[in-house]
Amino acid sequence: MKCKQLLVKGKAKSVYSTDDRHKLVIEFRDDITAFDGGKKDVLKNKGNYNAEVSAFFFEYLEQNGIRTHFFTMVDPHHMVVRKLEMIPLEVIVRNIAAGSLVRNYPFREGAPLNPPLVVIDYKDDARHDPMLNDEIIVALKLATPAELKKIKKMALEVNRLLSSLLSDHGITLVDFKMEFGRQGKTIYLGDEISMDSMRLWDKKTGESLDKDVYRFEKGDVMAIYNRVVQRITGPVMNK
Ligand code: ATP
Ligand code: TYD
């Protein structure tokens, strides 16, 4: 599958049209950003690591009944996906209190959230991605009530599946972000699920295994991303 025209150059990925009007190619670049683009770097192989983990998760989720945009990989950092009309929501599922939840609300860092929380932000960099509620989402016509119900149900099911998979590899899924899109009336999971969009803690040591290593300069980001890929895609260690 050949890239035709660059449609979108985001902060970490580029999206290309292809000969098939229903398919796109997403290039996972080596750019990494944090704090609303305030911190930026290029880290060699980051794109490959995130693409590999995303493809692995999408295949696993498809096998477990979740509709995703994933078709196949062209090479280690180019993914063929279904072209979606993206819904500008950042759908975050949280199993443990961390990050902005702890900064903005009186939760104790590390407190379990049972049942998990679904928090939805408006994907709008200029407005710094403000948190939404169901009424605002519907009033802004970002999604219908039926779509919103479906998105939340899918988000919790993805969380259940990924939490279980990661736990088998000795990793706690603290929280993660998803983006959804529609093709006709069908909702698909789009974008990526990777170390850039998840918060992962080592089950034994509590060590960060995700973009927090980059955000807060906790160590060698690429060495950790590489190790996480090997762990997630490798044999189960902790049943
Ligand atoms: P961020 O998600 O970090 O706020 P961004 O919007 O700059 O940043 P990138 O990940 O760099 O995002 O760019 C990828 C773009 O591709 C996003 O706009 C995303 O919504 C879009 N996208 C992802 N999957 C699909 C798809 N299947 N069809 C159409 N667009 C998609
Ligand atoms: P959150 O705690 O809201 O933000 P921060 O990471 O700045 O403390 O993030 C929750 C999870 O969602 C975390 O795993 C990172 C992911 N996420 C993204 O991938 N992109 C985003 O724009 C946001 C807000 C979160």
- 48-96 pLDDT, tens digit per residue, is 999 999 999 999 999 999 999 999 999 999 999 999 999 999 999 999 9
Confidence of residue 118 (pLDDT cuts 50, 70, 90): very high
CA of 109, nearest ligand number = 2
Token code pair at residue 228: 């996480």
Q: Which of 59, 55, 64, 67 is nearest to 26 (CA)?
A: 55
121 Cβ closer than 6 Å to some ligand 2 atom: yes
For residue range 145-201, list pLDDT tens digits in order: 999 999 999 999 999 999 999 999 999 999 999 999 999 999 999 999 999 999 999
Per-residue pLDDT tens digits for 2-13: 889 999 999 999
Pocket test residue of 177, 209, 213, 228 for ligand 2, highest count of atoms within 8 A of CB: 177
- Residue 225 to residues 30, 124, 144, 173, Cα–Cα distance (Å): 12, 27, 37, 15
How much distance in Å is there from the Cα of 176 to the middle of ligand 2? Answer: 7
Residue for token pair 């983006």: 179
CATH of 3-82, one of 3.40.50.10860, 3.30.200.20, 1.10.246.90, 3.40.30.10: 3.30.200.20
pTM: 0.97
Q: What is the mean pLDDT of residues 111-120?
A: 98
Please check whether residue 149 is in contact with residue 217, taking contact to mean a CB–CB distance below 8 angstroms: no
3.40.120.10, 3.30.470.20, 3.50.50.60, 3.30.230.10: CATH of 85-220: 3.30.470.20
Q: Which residue's C-alpha comes closest to atom 11 of ligand 2? A: 176
Ligand 2 centroid – CA 40 distance (Å):
16
- Kindly list the domain boundaries of the chain, sorted by start residue: 3-82, 85-220
